[in-house]
Structure 1
């Protein structure tokens, strides 16, 4: 079987595809991956056929903002609220150019199936052009893109590349989707088809170990892990290119000050990943370890609390290890995810982004029996899901049935 993968977005999007690609290779299948150039390193050591041709986030965002001018004369400028931003992410003008770039590569590879990052919709059109099935991977955008709202825009892209229009808004999931969350804990905002759920991998790099200073931490206090995520550096880089950050988003340095200040006042061991942003204007407690990067999935295996931007990858990783969350959402699907975290008793959202607000939320979650029970239940359901190898079987059956 030959599988062609399409990925855009941040490292988290590539990390969603990586375990499935590895499982496919182990099963003897061939895998090609179209990916933004900046994400090729995710696949180092994985013998896939790499094509660094997909658009980067800044390129996609430039396409989205150009949609303000893609309207009939006299028509009002579209309101770029969160719903519309996600629709444009799925069906903006970048889809057409990406299609023309990727289709020749896919034709040459002759895939039996297109496996796409759930927020990457060009793969749907590539599959339609080749007459092969397509399946989406776990993804935050999948949970918040409105298929009904996307359909007219996606049909416009179909027309631009010579494909027939579709009447079914669920055509983007015609051959199924996969997720790493138990069905009872679905984060989908819209009534999308039920996903084939498999267990979130515990680690992407089994050879990785904790840094010695973290491995030596005592066990007499809770360990709190905090991370600003992989997408924020990209968004801030966009600002330097003249692209406005999402409305309402705080600068990561402000968020980090609140996190570090709050954890410095908490009786705990704390590890904070800054993604390279400076931590200034706050006194760092002696029990707070500030690092540019952390082995997040590994640290969560021994953590009691996770402070997160509420990106979907981080949410799944936290549930995989049974760690409750304190959310500091920033943009995209994060605000939606933070609401779902509270609804499902998996954690709480910081209501005031200050040191005091962070410390208060952490204390509440660490001492809330309802949240403890909620995350335990979700953790057990996660552990009841099949491993990633089951996805290989699903894709094999999908190809055989097509």
Structure 2
């Protein structure tokens, strides 16, 4: 049976890509898929062949928001940043997003809602309308669980009371990796499912689809969010320069994907190519090493390319992610402020030690063995929530 599926995302540049493990199989199974998100994702929906409906605002692009959170990260560290951003700012946006979704879903009621795990407005709207609801873990699941009782639930409680709902709850999650890879204490409500990426991201552009040289290929990307935040650009640009300086003394070819910083980083070294964007999953099947900020999607792209990583986590879940991968032997982790000699030593070790590649190949095999999503089965296993009643999830 074909379902009308509503998928939601919050306005972070990479977050629709992080939902491809839901979007692609839903389309392949013949379901009607609509993405409900802010206007910044209209093009992403078109590329994936799904319907688009505007919901919420591009609030993360507000210069005041960016300056504030950058100052908190720079002055007080990542833990305080996480508490402010995910425990305060994200719940604060929930009501506006919920209003847009209530209008859309009252007009055309979906059979199943799969909302980004941090999209509290979508969770609220689904509960008010009694819609079957699942959360798609985009990497923030562990942070949300850590902050739930102390920060997020108290922030959402007044909204739930206003709509005569019971206490806020985090929906059961679909996570596209073995749960123990990223969760210190695996939550019973998380189901590990097979990971897929958008088809267009699996094809190399013509300039990259060429015979490889005899030198190893190192791919460098520190993500999209940090380069878009004015207060973090200086830190990230400095990190890129240290990485590029370290790699210039090693016999390798380098591709750097640096978003808005690309023009500032281009230089004369013919072995270093600096671009704004590349189809990362496709490139990582060619690369020998990935220097990354450690976002969840980027690390899983590396696993599926069997490419060891040098993780340099910046903010949010990234430092914990890179530390987890290092513990599992899938690469190494350094601080974002690491000096070029430290980076060069780590890169030399990673390129010269076979066990990292072997560990990544084993991780790729484990990832490929996860069960595929069956949305018709999921729809039957989720009991819709209702106003004034606590939803029960059968996963």
Query: What's the counterpart of residue 30 of structure 2?
Result: 28
**Runs of 4+ in structure 1 over 4 Å off:** 63-66, 278-284, 399-402
- Give, in whole Å, the separation in 2 of the partners of 1:197 and 1:304: 27
Give yes or no for contact 1:221–1:269 (8 Å, CA) kept in 2.
yes
Q: CA deviation at 1:142?
A: 1.5
Deviation at residue 25 of structure 1 after TM alignment: 3.2
Task: Give the C-alpha shift of residue 203 in structure 1.
Answer: 5.1
Partner of 2:86: 86
TM-score (norm 1): 0.82
Deviation readout 1:296-325 (Å, 9 max, x if unpaired): 111101111101111111011111221111
Give the structure 2 partner of residue 96 of structure 1: 95
Q: Which residue is 1:197 aligned to? A: 192
Aligned-pair Cα RMSD in Å = 2.9
- Say which of 348, 357, 362 aligns to 2:332: 348
**Equivalent residue, structure 1, for 2:375:** 392
Q: In structure 2, do the counterparts of structure 1 residues 120 and 59 end up closer, same or farther at CA, with 3 Å as the change threshold?
A: farther
Alpha carbons 1:14, 1:117 under 8 Å: kept = no
Cα distance in 2 between the residues matched to 1:11 and 1:270 = 24
Which residue among 8, 14, 17 is the counterpart of 2:16?
14
What's the CA shift for 1:375?
A: 1.9
Measured in 2, the distance between the counterparts of 1:281 and 1:98 equals 37
Q: Report the Cα offset of residue 370 of structure 1.
A: 4.3
Q: 8 Å contact 1:312–1:334 — kept in the other structure?
A: yes
Alignment-derived partner of residue 302 in structure 1: 286
CA contact (8 A) 2:37 2:56 kept: yes
Q: Say whether 1:230 aligns with 2:232.
A: no
In structure 1, the residue matched to 2:73 is none
Task: Tell me the residue number matched to 1:178.
Answer: 174
State the SS of the aligned residue for 2:87.
Answer: helix
Q: Structure 1 CA distance, aligned partners of 2:329 and 2:213?
A: 26
Distance 1:251 1:122 in 2: 32
Structure 2 contact 8–35 (Cα < 8 Å) conserved: yes
Residues 5 and 31 of structure 2 are in contact (CA less than 8 Å); yes or no, is this contact kept in structure 1? Answer: yes
Q: Do the aligned residues in 1 keep the contact of 2:179 with 2:190 (CA within 8 Å)?
A: yes
Distance in 1 (CA, whole Å) between partners of 2:293 and 2:48 is 29
Match of 1:53 in 2: 55
Q: CA deviation at 1:270?
A: 1.3
Q: CA separation in 1, counterparts of 2:301 and 2:217?
A: 16
CA contact (8 A) 1:228 1:308 kept: yes
CA distance in 2, matches of 1:206, 1:288: 22
Partner of 2:342: 357
Question: Could you state the TM-score of these two structures normalised by the residue count of structure 2?
Answer: 0.83
Residue 260 of structure 2 aligns to a residue whose secondary structure is: coil
Alignment match, 1:148 = 149
Aligned length: 369
Q: Secondary structure at the match of 1:377?
A: helix
Q: Any idea what SS the aligned residue of 1:124 has?
A: helix
What secondary structure does 1:302 align onto?
A: coil
Over 3 Å counting, the alpha-carbon distance change for 1:317 and 1:206 in structure 2 is closer
Q: Indicate whether 1:315 and 2:317 are aligned.
A: no
Measured after TM superposition, the shift of residue 369 of structure 1 is 4.5
CA distance in 1, matches of 2:65, 2:84: 15
**Structure 1 residue 216, shift from structure 2 partner:** 2.7
Q: State the shift of 1:227 in Å.
A: 0.9
Taking a change above 3 Å as real, the CA distance of residues 60 and 256 of structure 1, as seen in their structure-2 partners, is closer
* 2:135 aligned residue: 136
* Residue of 344, 363, 368 corresponding to 1:378: 363
**Once the 2 structures are TM-superposed, how far is the Cα of residue 37 of structure 1 from its aligned partner?**
0.7
The alpha-carbon distance between structure 1 residues 65 and 216, as it changes in their structure 2 partners (threshold 3 A), is: closer
Instruction: Report the CA distance between 1:193 and its aligned residue.
Output: 2.8
